[in-house]
Amino acid sequence: MVVGDFPIEVDTLVIGAGPGGYVAAIRAAQTGQKVTIAEKGNLGGVCLNVGCVPSKALIEAAHNFEKAKGDEDMGISSENTTVDFSKVQSWKGGVVQKLTGGVQSLLKGNKVDVVKGEAYFVDQNTVKIMDEKQSQTYKFKDCIIATGSRPIEIPNFKFSERVLDSTGALELKEIPKKLIVIGGGYIGTELGTAYANFDTEVTILEGMDRILNGFEKDLVQPVKKNLKNKGVEVVTNAMAQGVEETEDGVKVTYEVNGEEKTAEADYVLVTVGRKPNTDELGLDEMGMEMDDKGYIQVDKHSRTNFENIYAIGDIVPGPPLAHKASYEGKIAAEVIAGEKAEVDYMAIPLVAFSDPEIASVGYTKETAEEAGYEVKESKFPFQANGRALSLNSTEGFLKLITRKDDGLIIGGHVSGANASDMIAEIGLAIETGMTAEDLSLTIHAHPTLGEVSMEAAEVAMGRPIHTM
């Protein structure tokens, strides 16, 4: 112990200032708790700094570049569209700075003490926060662990200047001529699509039999079609074997159906999943209950096997989603404050910012039937929507999952323009117990994409207007 390391006492200590941690800290402070938050990196965590936010900024810039090249169907063309990628990166960095600065102001405004350093648990009520210069002991009544996750590094693909994780792909100094993406999940598909829109020649190698495996097949079909139109080569059932780095590129070896193949590119992006940051906190020594992958086991209140320690976000089972972490953070803070709160994942959406976007919330027809429900699946196509036609974005559809006996909405799935925004209405419908009739009676402005939800509800009721 450093001389003079007298313990600092706090009500609630939050470890990690990502979208789970900083939200938990603010909600805890709002309930009257004395809160300290510890973060070894930048406020905002992976999401704000090197994940959700900058990736969506890059995706939007790529969309703008693609649009600037024109649309022949609309009679618009341009032969001299250019992109200054350094300015794109600078703009993206500005977006990140505004948000991380906002987090700092919010924490300060809610009187949350911010401490820089890494945390290590001594016991159920004590941690040490360490930086390069010193170590400080903190005594807490309650603690919320929100340390997030990091990219998985696969054998024979050690991250380097040419072998990139998602962070590296977001920080490239130039647009690659060729890019190989290992992993066709939402991160690989999103970033692969973004660079394809910047005219990069992209190859996606996916180990399973299809990309975006977390979504239903019919939702993914419009994405696969668009990837093909962009010239993206998607190779499924492909197992990456190794990479040979050269001075100006990479040579990737992979296996498909027992046949070894190779592909060359400027860079290879590895996006095969993430692993929880629970291995350097001293949790094993303390007796924290975790599974064999390092995920902390929690109850419906986000509480671990220690009654005063909670865990949220990417370090607990479930998809690594920023909005899931924020939701769990609020629940944990409210439980600590003595409020009645528990997690309910029914209305948590999944979104892929692909082209077109995909979004899903609640049950699918298959999972609903597995749960014992008799359900109806009702689709409405974007091509029958006036706003989609005027945007020249008619790919995809919205489908509702409703109970047959009463029309209760228990699921919704969108593949199409602005799906990431449209899914919120379906999530609200599920959360508030709306039926298809309730949704159909909600007057939607015309012409908007939101009308697709109303039209799908009318399909569910057997009274559609704009489709047979």
Active-site residue numbers?
A: 446
Burial environment of residue 425 by CB neighbours within 10 A (0 to 12, 13 to 18, 19 or more)? buried
Terminal-to-terminal C-alpha distance of the chain:
74
Q: How many CB atoms lie within 10 A of CB 208?
A: 13
* Residue linked to tokens 């250019």: 82
Spatial contact of 400 and 460, defined as CB atoms under 8 Å apart: yes
Query: What residues form DSSP beta bridges with 178?
Result: 201
- Cβ atoms of 195 and 202 within 8 Å: the answer is yes
The token pair at 92 is 């993206």
Length of the chain: 468
Cβ distance 149 to 311 under 8 Å? Answer: no
Going by C-alpha positions, the residue among 95, 19, 100, 270 that lies closest to residue 168 is 270
Three-state SS letters, the chain:
CCCCCCCEEEEEEEECCCCCHHHHHHHHHHCCCCEEEEECCCCCHHHHHHCHHHHHHHHHHHHHHHHHCEEHHHCEECCCCCCCHHHHHHHHHHHHHHHHHHHHHHHHHCCCEEEECEEEEEECCEEEEECCCCEEEEEEEEEEECCCEEECCCCCCCCCCCEECHHHHHCCCCCCCEEEEECCCHHHHHHHHHHHHCCCEEEEECCCCCCCCCCCHHHHHHHHHHHHHCCCEEECCEEEEEEEECCCCEEEEEEECCEEEEEEECEEEECCCEEECCCCCCHHHHCCCECCCCCECCCCCCECCCCCEEECHHHCCCCCCHHHHHHHHHHHHHHHCCCCCCCCHHHCCEEECCCCCEEEEECCHHHHHHCCCCEEEEEEEHHHCHHHHHCCCCCCEEEEEEECCCCEEEEEEEECCCHHHHHHHHHHHHHCCCEHHHHHHCCCCCCCCCHHHHHHHHHHCCCCCCCC
